[in-house]
Amino acid sequence: MSWTHRSRWTRAVFCGVSLALAVSACSSGKDDNSKATGPQHTSGPISLVYAQKQGDQEYFIGEADGAKAKAKELGIDLKVVNLGNDANRAVTEVQNSVNQKASGVIVVVPDPSVGPQVAQLAKAGGVALLTSDDQVCANGPDPASCAKDNLVPRVGFSGTQMGTEVGTRAGQDFKKAGWKPEETAIIDAWKQDVTVCTDRVKANQKAFREAAGVDVKVIEVGTDNTPSDAQNKISATVSGNRSVKNWIVMGCNDENVSGGVAAIQNAGYSADNVLGVGLGAYLACKEWRGGKPTGFKAALFINGKDVGALSVQTIYDYLKNGKQMPPEAYAPTKMVDSTNWQQAGVTCS
């Protein structure tokens, strides 16, 4: 299906669902703007679809493994779908889940702008909906400007908490290195329309200032959250700032930091003049495993397996026992580096 035809189909589905919901609201005599996500109790077998963006990424592979293990434990029929970066496919897979009469859908949307379509399709089809990792707004394309009551329940990590841990570690390591603020610059890289990424970046900048005790120039770089794009964008940034002697790299995930560290070191900087603090640890560990000097100094370990398992447990409790899904549920995190990543349980394939 071409992009144009797919877009037309998506708009048609969205409009059709919106009309159906509007008719339903009128017939009931009240305007129902809630984000109800399906039945609260299921007596029969439970079937779930876990639709993930970037399903071939290390973190999401772990997330799928955790979900599968939990589903097996609970006797759930689970189907995992890799959406890649195709936002329209997220809409299609939710519609397919409705057609196949799945009990529930857990989704990691490639783009939050399809959130309303996803939420309304699930609601109209009587399918429970839970998001993991990234937030989704039921009645608008931007979760950042969404009323809390309209955010779909989410399992993942606290963006503010994670960003704070990353910024604190970077600030502490900056002080230990003895770098001069005027000779140093921070690169913060992330996909700037992803709310949870923006939360992390805002928090890491605030925490860095508090831990370092000084202000350091910050250069914000927009990427698609992949190592290759981060490397390309940050290479251009470094080329335009050759007077900088020391670089600090932070961002939304390990991909941005990995690409940034590679770009800076490829530009001729020594690993001793680069301080990268990642978020994930699944790419950082590959640098540490090799034993060579690297600017990737630390990373916050976020275990995708924990998120996958908690997501399945959360929607199971809702469907089977009528337990309301919390607005947000968080999995644990841990800061690691080259000295302790193995003991922490980081999987490095």
Share of the chain above pLDDT 70, in %: 88
Report the alpha-carbon distance of residue 89 to residue 53 in Å, rounded.
10
Query: Between 321 and 38, whose confidence is greater?
Result: 321
Report the alpha-carbon distance of residue 84 to residue 303 in Å, rounded.
20
pTM for the predicted model, two decimal places: 0.71
pLDDT in tens, 105-163: 999 999 999 999 999 999 999 999 999 999 999 999 999 899 999 999 999 999 999 99
Q: How confident is the model at residue 336 (pLDDT cuts 50, 70, 90)?
A: very high
For position 44, what pLDDT does the model report?
Answer: 85
For position 291, what pLDDT does the model report?
Answer: 87
Buried b (16+ CB within 10 A) or exposed e, 143-162: beebeeebbbbbbbbbbbeb
Q: How far is the CA of 41 from the CAs of 3, 37, 46, 118, 241, in angstroms?
A: 38, 12, 11, 21, 58
Section 29-50 average pLDDT: 62
* Residue 185 pLDDT > 50: yes
* Residue 28 pLDDT > 50: no
- Mean pLDDT over all residues of the chain? 89
Four-CA torsion 146, 149, 152, 158, nearest 10 degrees: 80
Q: How far is the CA of 88 from the CAs of 100, 189, 191, in angstroms?
A: 18, 25, 18
H or E, element range at 251 = strand 246-251
pLDDT in tens, 235-294: 999 999 999 999 999 999 999 999 999 999 999 999 999 999 999 999 999 999 988 999
Give the contacts of 19 (CB within 8 A, at least 6 positions apart): none
DSSP 100: T
Query: Between 42 and 275, whose confidence is greater?
Result: 275
DSSP 272: G
| β-sheet bridge partners, residue 220 | 188
Q: How confident is the model at residue 40 (pLDDT cuts 50, 70, 90)?
A: low
| β-sheet bridge partners, residue 83 | none
Report the alpha-carbon distance of residue 44 to residue 332 in Å, rounded.
32
Q: Name which of 274, 270, 266, 298 is nearest 284 in CA terms.
A: 298
* Residue 2 pLDDT > 80: no
